[in-house]
Amino acid sequence: MKIQILPNWYKKIGLILFIIASLLNGSLNFLNTSQKVTESGNGIQGLLNAFSGGALNYGIDFIAIIAMLIFMTSKEKVEDDYIDKLRLESFQFTFIIGLLVTILMYVFAKDLKLTLNFFIFPLLWSYIVIFFIKRKMYL
């Protein structure tokens, strides 16, 4: 059974969306830390959170995650059975690493409270890096 994936030109869309979302998120965080933000939430970050109810940061993170998924599910320029095999091996290896890291974090830091994007971003990044390394190693 072949999994339907996006055409190759979606890689560019995913990459551009990810870069824009990362720059926005980074600049908002930089403005938040560079200004003397008081406890009442003054500053640009406090103003944006007042208007959006804090949803702006989550929205930007959501766009970055979707952009990475678009990039991951796009075809390569040359798509064959070997690329499918590399994609599957990369996914399996990423899944195993993600489970091991999650179990170790739970064992050693039981009271650690993180949002979901702290788990999703490393999984997506590790898949992209592992697939890139495997593709360069075997081609």
pLDDT tens digit string along 13-60? Answer: 999 999 999 898 887 766 666 555 444 455 666 666 666 666 777 788
Q: Are residues 71 and 126 in the same domain?
A: no
- Round to whole Å and give the CA distance between 22 and 44: 18
Domain encompassing residue 89? 80-138
pLDDT of amino acid 138: 76
Q: What is the pTM assigned to this prediction?
A: 0.73
Residue ending a domain, choose from 25, 42, 77: 77
CA–CA–CA angle 45, 114, 132 (5° rounding): 95
Residue ending a domain, choose from 27, 47, 77: 77
- Round to whole Å and give the CA distance between 13 and 74: 10
Confidence of residue 71 (pLDDT cuts 50, 70, 90): very high
Q: Are residues 101 and 117 in the same domain?
A: yes
Domains of the chain: total: 2
